[in-house]
Structure 1
Amino acid sequence: MREPLHLRLLRLLRDLGPTSRAELADALAVPRPRLLAELERLVAAGYVAEAGLAASRGGRRSTLVELNPDLRFAAVDLGATSIDVEITNGRLEPVVAYAEPADIRSGPKVIMNRVDELLAKARIDGAYQRLTGIGIGVPGPVSFRDGIPVSPPIMPGWDRFPVREYLTREHGCPCVVDNDVNIMAVGEKHGGVAQAVNDFLFVKIGTGIGCGIHLSGEVYRGPAGCAGDIGHIQVDGHGPVCSCGNVGCLEALFSGAALGREALAAARSGTSSALAERFAAAGSVAAPDVAEGAGEGDVTCIRLIRDGGRRLGGVLAGLVSFANPSMIVIGGGLAQLGHILLAEIRSVVYRRSLPLATGNLPVVLSELGPRAGVTGAAVLASDQAFEQAT
């Protein structure tokens, strides 16, 4: 079904900025009287404002319209170990941003209270007077329809917590809740390396592993909202027990926690001098230490990254054969492992998938990096608010 005119119009102003009425009518392929009536309604509703005169082109200067400069969206990206919050204007340009460590396992009361505090701080700092919409991503399966996490393996206490209802009630505006990797895929499509691509996979490698599936210009979530949970595909029937309770999942063998565990074993055994030195100095080692060690040429660090890339590449090769994407984007905290990881993933995907599927298949790092999540959350927040601008 074709989207309503007001939604297409508001999205166009969001993405293009100040635009003349004539240009809007042409871009939307609607009669000018209908467009003018819709604009008049949106101005009255507080979503659109006059934006002055366009630059002179020799004739009568046309007037421009834009999204109301007072529109504000809150974008929240909850990770397993972090909270990122941005307040954006109507064009999704950041007004203020906050980032801090947090443990998602501390439960919804603690985490949501902290989100409220950060949003209150943004208001005190003058970032907004009222919010037009909120978008939030969480690191676990989400019922997109209901706005709740459902049995998230690494989020104890969050099962069916009413995230959308809570934020809507506390802040008096529409709210949309999605899985963290889905919002990253939306962000990368809006402002990253996948802007010109309608069919791509966004793979987040961090504390867990997930895949945002973007097909025909839209995120595919599945009927229950858990499409793309590739971290729980089994890759070793005799592997370690995963947080989901199964054995040998990809996430149990290659993720932030898994890599940290292997790095610690290598440091303690002395098989990696680079990791042993860091462990002696700091008392711990983690993924960044592996990346640094690999950069110094440490053989064990390089092997750990390649082993992870080979396992992930094997899973992605299956997805390429199944979905035939035009691009694969790698993001998340472990993307910092860089080109050793990327080269291994590419090697396996290109070797194990059919040439027809990989003949023109870029496998690239996220262009937005850590901002992919908040960017996508802001896009979803604006879409939700615009849909309700009736």
Structure 2
Amino acid sequence: MTARPANAHQARLLRLLRDGGPNSRAQLGDQVELSRSKLAVEIDRLLETGLVVADGLAASRGGRRSHNVRLAPGLRFLSVDIGATSVDVAVTNPELEILGHLTEPMDVREGPVAVFEQVLALADKLKDSGVAEGFDGAGIGVPGPVRFPDGIPVAPPIMPGWDGFPVREALSQDLGCPVMVDNDVNLMAMGEQHAGVARSVRDFICVKIGTGIGCGIVVGGAVHRGATGSAGDIGHIQVVPGGRQCACGNHGCLEAHFSGYALARDAESAAVDGSSAELAARLAAAGRLDAADVAAAAAAGDPTSLTLIRDGGARTGQVIAGLVSFFNPALVVIGGGVTGLGHTLLASIRTQVYRQSLPLATGNLPIVLGELGPAAGVTGAARLISDHLFSPA
């Protein structure tokens, strides 16, 4: 990518073309507050930069036909969504449509050097498949708090060895393009906002329940990261006073009582102590259990698994109810690996939130599962880097 928009008008035009696809000059003029002559100047400047290209004549609206323009079709964004136990790498076009998507198991505890070797190998595989020759920018999500302006993880509880690692700087050098880094749940929220269940919503929260638990907060259409980048770290809100010790060092955190890790531990305990024959059979067959095993056992009618899901949903709902009363969102989105638990989990969360929050906040509040699944994070990563590149230099 050779250029950035020179001003806010050009940035707005680029984002409109990203979000709406090819469009006519006349229709773009309807959406931005510019005179026809000023609009023509800004589009001509974008055409000169190569960020935008002509795309034929638009449909007639009466009178002289307008010309279509679109983002340069050769632009490519690399999207990386690093989880605790897997990594997703994708390539998108400038309208953020996914052209190639690879996922592999990965242990974030191996540290940044090993993880990024795997990321770069997957990026090379995508290049070799022909979807990209190079990258104009890259968005990266990591499962922990990030000091956003610098792209640096800060004391992430489930990421030993990552504290202070210059992710943005290191990957920018390796990839040869601009890089932006954010918490993975913020990217999930941005993905659902761009192409998922939150497309038409300006104020919502997106709760990711995976190995850990986090919350993306979108206010007025923009992610709210807080003063230092740690907004939405709800996994470490206490739900059981004096409860289990959490990876963060405190006791009784939501994450310690209900997350992918906590659920697997509780399921294995139930299998070993004989309270669930279904889980015991699965443990004997596989040697370990995870959230998918609990979901399958619950679907088979196992009472212990159903109780684990309902109790976890109630505790998560307890925290979300507090957020709803405080923030009054228009929508709550639930995503992450544990959403394989499906409607049993969702029903438990809904019951707790509707019971605990004020009627004014919940009277018209949808609480829904995310639409995009594993594509949410990589879509959000592309949105993150394109927001950066489609901003005035």
The normalised TM-score by structure 1 is: 0.97
The one of 90, 93, 113 equivalent to 1:89 is 93
Residue 196 of structure 1, CA deviation: 1.1
- Counterpart position of 2:49: 45
- Counterpart position of 1:100: 104
After TM superposition, the structure 1 = structure 2 runs for residues 202-281 of structure 1, keeping only pairs within 5 Å, are: 202-281=206-285
Matched, 1:11 2:15: yes
Residue 167 of structure 1, CA deviation: 1.7
What letter corresponds to residue 97 of structure 2 in structure 1?
E
Residue 10 of structure 1, CA deviation: 0.2
The one of 291, 295, 306 equivalent to 1:291 is 295
Q: Is the 8 A contact 1:211 1:229 kept in 2?
A: yes
* Runs of 4+, deviation exceeding 4 Å: 56-60
The one of 173, 177, 197 equivalent to 1:173 is 177
- Counterpart position of 2:306: 302
- Counterpart position of 1:117: 121
Q: For residues 272-307 of structure 1, give each alpha carbon's deviation from its aligned partner in whole angstroms, at most 9, with x where no partner exists.
A: 121111112222211111101111111101000001
Q: Which moved more, 1:57-66 or 1:141-150?
A: 57-66
Matched residues in 1 for 2:177 and 2:75: separation?
Answer: 12
Structure 1 residue ranges without an equivalent (≥5): none
Q: CA RMSD in A?
A: 1.3
SS in 2 for 1:37: helix
Residue 25 of structure 1, CA deviation: 1.3
Residue 229 of structure 1, CA deviation: 0.2
Q: Percent identity?
A: 60
- Counterpart position of 1:160: 164
Matched, 1:29 2:68: no
What letter corresponds to residue 156 of structure 2 in structure 1?
P
Structure 2 residue ranges without an equivalent (≥5): 1-6
Residue 212 of structure 1, CA deviation: 0.5
- Counterpart position of 2:199: 195
Residue 235 of structure 1, CA deviation: 1.1
The one of 379, 382, 386 equivalent to 1:382 is 386
- Counterpart position of 1:345: 349
Aligned length: 387
- Counterpart position of 2:373: 369
Q: Is the 8 A contact 1:214 1:220 kept in 2?
A: yes
Matched residues in 2 for 1:146 and 1:53: separation?
Answer: 43
Q: Is the 8 A contact 2:205 2:333 kept in 1?
A: yes
- Counterpart position of 1:313: 317
Q: For residues 54-99 of structure 1, give each alpha carbon's deviation from its aligned partner in whole angstroms, at most 9, with x where no partner exists.
A: 2456754332100001000011100000110110001111111110
SS in 1 for 2:390: helix
Change (3 A) 1:5 1:164: same
Q: Which moved more, 1:113-122 or 1:255-264?
A: 113-122
The normalised TM-score by structure 2 is: 0.96
The one of 131, 134, 137 equivalent to 1:133 is 137
Q: Is the 8 A contact 2:98 2:379 kept in 1?
A: no
What letter corresponds to residue 266 of structure 2 in structure 1?
E
Q: Is the 8 A contact 2:153 2:165 kept in 1?
A: yes
Q: Is the 8 A contact 1:175 1:384 kept in 2?
A: no
Matched residues in 1 for 2:242 and 2:154: separation?
Answer: 28
Q: Is the 8 A contact 1:133 1:384 kept in 2?
A: no
Change (3 A) 1:58 1:322: closer
Matched residues in 2 for 1:250 and 1:275: separation?
Answer: 23
Q: For residues 147-189 of structure 1, give each alpha carbon's deviation from its aligned partner in whole angstroms, at most 9, with x where no partner exists.
A: 1100101111111111111122222222111000001011111
